[in-house]
Amino acid sequence: MSRRMIARPMSDRRSLTAAPKRVARAFVVACVAMALVRAAEPDVRVLTSGAFTAALADLAPVYERSTGERIETAYGGSMGNAPDTIPNRLQRGEPADVVIMAASALDDLVARGAVVKGSRVDLARSAIGMAVRSGAPRPDISSVESLTHALLDASSIACSSSASGVYLSTELFPRLGIAARIESKLRKVESEPVGAVVARGEAEIGFQQISELRPVKGIDIVGPLPPGAQRLTVFSAGIVAAALNPDGARRFVAFLSSPAAAPAIQKSGLDPITH
């Protein structure tokens, strides 16, 4: 009995011919998509506290242009209970390679194993300043005594929930003997600049790192706290223990602590510490 060849319909033959082409096209599309995803991913992820925000905004593009590496930045307080603080971001597993924050808070993260031991690099010193709404009277804060009177006379006071505010509320105000007297009019600000609260008229006077007050529109900076009341805070960078790109992180931190970065840091209201 002879075997008969069964002819496939033309449409089936076209489908068989087109199948490898479709697979090839899908492979190319997938490769391009993966390349685009990789290109969109940052080379170094940075979590920074507000004090270094203005300086970083100037310095990151300079580094990107000179190296071709892309820096991604997110912001949060060095401490406090807000969900966007740097310690809370890291605790949630948010990806980061570098943190820039108050040195004392960074040391706490080192002790907890969240930041690499020995990776701390001090970048700048920061002074605390006082601000009022634009055009409002500027209280005299040239001495500890006059600052004390300004605090007692103010109808409302705002300070940060992070490093500067912790110092004011737990150390300075008690030392001045006025903590209980101003407690009812003291507001702790989370997740936004203190200056923004002052600019909206929600506080008569506000205190924060000068580098955080400077970028805010609608306020006047009265000046730094006087000697005897001032607290200089060191802001430092560290490498996150779970960093995806620790080598790139170290290169970026080395740039931030170099003499080339000092002018931008100084312009933001910080005192640079170069290495």
Q: What is the CATH number of the domain that holds 182?
A: 3.40.190.10
Residue pair 95/249 in contact by the 8 Å Cβ criterion: no
Mean pLDDT of 171-187: 97
Total count of domains within the chain: 2
Q: Which residue has the higher pLDDT, 17 or 112?
A: 112
Q: Does residue 264 form part of some domain?
A: yes
Identify whether residues 138 and 200 lie together within a single domain. Answer: yes
23-37, 117-131, 137-151, 244-258 — which is least confidently predicted? 23-37
Q: Tell me which residue range forms the domain holding 159.
A: 128-224
Q: For residue 38, is it within any domain? A: no
Q: Look at residue 86 and tell me whether its pLDDT is greater than 60.
A: yes
Look up residue 38 and give its amino acid.
R
Judge whether 222 and 130 are in contact, CB under 8 Å: yes
Percentage of the residues of the chain whose pLDDT score is greater than 70? 85
DSSP 259: G
Whether residue 182 sits in one domain with residue 115: no
In a domain, 26, yes or no: no
Residue 40 vs residues 21, 35, 88, 242: alpha-carbon distances, Å: 29, 9, 25, 20
* Domain contains 27: no
How much is the pLDDT for 13?
Answer: 53
**pLDDT for the residue numbered 253:** 98
The tokens 């990107």 sit on which residue? Answer: 64
pLDDT confidence tier of residue 191, bands split at 50, 70 and 90: confident
Q: Which two tokens stand for residue 114?
A: 């969240």
Rounded-to-integer distance, Cα 156 and Cα 159, Å? 10
For 150-165, write each residue's pLDDT tens digit: 999 999 999 999 889 9
Contacts 24+ apart (CB under 8 A), 260-264: 261/55, 261/59, 264/55, 264/58, 264/59, 264/62
The residue-averaged pLDDT of 184-213 equals 96
Q: What is the pLDDT of residues 20-77, one digit of tens each?
A: 555 445 444 444 333 333 445 789 999 999 999 999 999 999 999 999 999 999 999 9
Q: Are residues 153 and 175 in the same domain?
A: yes
Q: Tell whether 149 and 134 lie within a shared domain.
A: yes
Q: For residue 203, which of 214, 216, 187 has the smallest C-alpha distance? A: 187
| Strongest mean pLDDT among 7-11, 99-103, 162-166 | 99-103
In a domain, 22, yes or no: no
> Is there a single domain that holds both residue 96 and residue 84?
yes
**Which amino acid does the sequence have at 243?**
A
Same domain membership, residue 215 and residue 153: yes
**Are the C-beta atoms of residues 187 and 157 closer than 8 Å to each other?**
yes
Torsion of CA 195, 200, 205, 206, to 10 degrees: -20
Residue 256 forms part of a structural domain: yes
134/211 same-domain check: yes
More confident residue, 244 or 30: 244
Q: Report the distance separating Cα 142 and Cα 113, nearest Å.
A: 42
12 phi/psi in degrees, rounded to 5: -65, -40
Q: What is the rounded average pLDDT of the residues 138-145?
A: 98
Residue 158: strand pairing partners = 187, 206
Supply the pLDDT for residue 7: 55
Q: How high is the mean pLDDT of the chain?
A: 89
% of the chain beyond a pLDDT of 90: 80
Rounded (10°) CA dihedral 265, 268, 270, 272: 10
Quick check: is 24 in a domain? no
Same domain, 175 and 259: no
10 within some domain: no
Q: Does one domain contain both 110 and 90?
A: yes
Same domain, 117 and 155: no
Q: Are residues 135 and 118 in the same domain?
A: no
Same domain (yes/no): 132, 188 = yes
User: What confidence score (pLDDT) does residue 36 get?
Assistant: 35
